[in-house]
Each structure stands twice: as structure tokens, then as C-alpha cells.
């Protein structure tokens, strides 16, 4: 966690760490310029990135391995990614999680 402006928060593996360990990953990247709440706050310069296991054994439903958030309140939201990693959540689990709208947490 870096308390900069905007904040930078990360948990789990990075793309470089996964590559060094020979782990194939699939990346999901959501730009906050598409977030209604970030736009309303006038702070749409951030993004949320998730890394999923993309090994053949995962069959397209790989567990989340890491994630990062750059943006306002990133430190308040990174815990949700940490919990997803701890619980072994996959992309389907993340997609089925309902969040209030519009919030930064849905990003």
C-alpha cells in the first residue's frame, strides 16, 4: 500500500512474479474512466487489475492470484481482493458478487 495521490494498493502475485514462477495468468483490467462513481467524484484516473490462473487445468475458471488498485480509496478496497485470494475465488465468483451502484468498490 502506498499512500500517494492517487493511492496504490496491491495484494498477491504481480504479473512479473507469476511469470518468474512459470504461472500463466489472464488479466482483467477495469479503467476507472468507465466508473460512474469515479467520474462523479472527478477522480477517474485510476484502474483495478485482477490476475487469474490461466493454466490449462483451470479450464477458463482460474482462481484469482493477485490484484492491484490505483485510485482514490484504493487502500479501503484492496481487502476485498485479499479476501477473494484467501477464499480461492475465481472469475465466476467475482462476477457474481453484487455491489451497490454506483460505488468505487464495484470497479
Q: What is the pLDDT of residues 55-75, one digit of tens each?
A: 888 777 799 999 999 999 999
In the residue annotation, 61 being an active-site residue is answered as: no
Domain assignment present for residue 18? The answer is: yes
Instruction: Give how far the C-alpha of residue 91 lies from the chain's centroid of Cα atoms, to the nearest Å.
Output: 11
Q: Which residue has the higher pLDDT, 91 or 48?
A: 48
Whether 102 maps to a domain, the answer reads no
43 pLDDT band, cuts 50/70/90, is very high
82 lies in some domain? yes
Q: What is the CATH number of the domain that holds 74?
A: 3.30.390.30
DSSP result, 22-39: T--EEEEEEEGGG-HHHH
Give the model's confidence band at 49: pLDDT under 50 very low, under 70 low, under 90 confident, else very high. very high
Q: Is 107 part of any domain?
A: no
- Within a domain: 106: no
Out of 5-14, 39-48, 52-61, 77-86, least confident range: 52-61
CA distance 34 to 28: 14
Domain count, the chain: 1
Of 61, 73, 99, 101, which is the active-site residue? 101
Q: Is residue 12 part of a domain?
A: yes
Give the structural domain span for 84.
7-96
Amino acid at each position: 500500500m502506498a499512500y500517494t495521490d492517487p493511492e496504490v494498493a496491491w495484494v498477491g502475485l504481480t504479473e512479473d512474479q507469476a511469470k518468474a514462477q512459470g504461472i500463466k495468468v489472464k488479466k482483467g483490467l477495469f479503467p476507472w474512466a468507465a466508473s460512474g462513481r469515479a467520474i462523479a467524484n472527478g477522480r477517474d484516473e485510476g484502474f483495478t487489475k485482477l490476475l487469474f490462473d490461466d493454466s490449462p487445468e483451470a479450464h477458463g475458471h482460474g482462481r484469482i492470484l493477485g490484484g492491484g488498485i490505483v485510485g482514490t480509496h484504493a487502500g479501503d478496497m484492496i481487502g476485498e481482493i485479499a479476501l477473494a485470494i484467501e477464499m480461492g475465488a475465481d472469475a465466476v465468483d467475482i462476477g457474481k458478487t453484487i455491489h451497490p451502484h454506483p460505488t468505487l468498490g464495484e470497479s
